[in-house]
Amino acid sequence: LFRSGASDRRGSGVIVALLISALIAVALASYLNLNLTSTRLAKRTFNGYSALNVAEAGVEEAVWSFNRMTGGATDAWSGWTTGGSAAWRKFSDFQFGPGVSAWAKVYVDNAHPPASARPKVIAQSSFGGTGETPALKMLELTLRRRAYVANGLVARDTVVFNGTNASVDSWNSNP
């Protein structure tokens, strides 16, 4: 009735082969899941840094308007919506390729500050592709005026240094 021998060994060999195949399948599934997670994380990080760049571009637009206003331009804030002393604008004309959208909303709390004021620029941005959750970033800057040569050294004919530890350093920005 009971047989032993070669057929039992073949049956146990099949079971061992099935167990090894299942172990390899679980390892491959885990590896694929790790790769997919890494790809999603890399894409999300890329979108986050791109959103930060878009927010910085919006801040640059506000700083450009401040600089033009300080220079006397009457149209420094043209294209911006103003209310009271504040100004705000949404920039959405960024071109990153098909299926990618980005925008930056910029708010300035005091668009016409006196010389001693420290206006704030707040920018919020979004960056993302079609079908994915966009990455959002926010920046807040506090501006202040300073002289073009705030720490410069100016003399008429000569410069006289007194003391034992007097030194001067220079840098040529256009070699």
The answer to whether 128 and 134 are in contact (CB under 8 A) is: yes
Q: pLDDT tens digits for 75-103?
A: 999 999 999 999 999 999 888 889 999 99
What is the DSSP-derived secondary structure letter of residue 34? H
The answer to whether 103 and 89 are in contact (CB under 8 A) is: no
Q: pLDDT tens digits for 7-46?
A: 566 678 888 899 999 999 999 999 999 999 999 999 999 9
* pLDDT greater than 90 at residue 150: no
Confidence at 137, pLDDT banded by 50, 70, 90: very high
pLDDT of residue 28: 95
Q: Which of 78-87, 106-115, 147-156 has the lowest mean pLDDT?
A: 147-156
User: Is pLDDT larger for residue 131 or for residue 159?
Assistant: 131
Can you point out the beta strands (E) in 33-132? 81-83, 86-91, 100-108, 120-129
For the segment 136-158, the average pLDDT, to the nearest whole number, is 82
pLDDT of residue 9: 66
Cβ neighbour number for residue 156 with a 10 Å cutoff: 5
* pLDDT greater than 70 at residue 118: yes
Amino acid at 103: W
